[in-house]
Amino acid sequence: MMPLSKIITRLIMGLLYLVSGAYHLVDPSFYMKIMPPYLPWHWELVIISGIAEMALGVLVMIPRTSRLGAWGLIALLIAIFPANLHMALHPEQFSTIPPMALYGRLPMQVALIAWAYVYTRRT
């Protein structure tokens, strides 16, 4: 049986992705700005990534599908890494965000991947 603390942190993780994904649909303009110019279909990718975040957030909260959801979140975090890297390399395009915060997003991606990885293991 999974410890209560691990259940709670898994639910928190799922809710964070659910809210973050919903925000992609509520205000896609922010996410459109961080899309690297070499990627096509910015609006479509923002919407798809938002829907994926919400779906994976739900999957990770359900015990039976949490492993699948965690692996999906890892894949998603890797897929969106170029957007975070683009932000860090072009701080002039994001003048309202301190450059250190832009660089801080990169190791945060690694931490989020590690957090999701915790739930890929069988209990």
| Domain assignments of the chain as residue spans, ordered by start | 4-117
- Which two structure tokens, joined as six digits, stand for 65? 């599908």
DSSP, collapsed to helix, strand or coil, labels residue 83 as helix
- Which amino acid, 8? I
| pLDDT score for 56 | 98
Regions of the chain with pLDDT less than 50:
none
Write down the pLDDT at residue 123: 66
CA–CA separation, 123 vs 50, rounded Å? 29
Query: Ramachandran region of residue 41, left (φ > 0), alpha (ψ -120 to 50) or beta?
Result: left
d(CA 96, CA 115): 28
- Given this model, what pLDDT does residue 2 score? 76
**pLDDT value of position 86:** 92
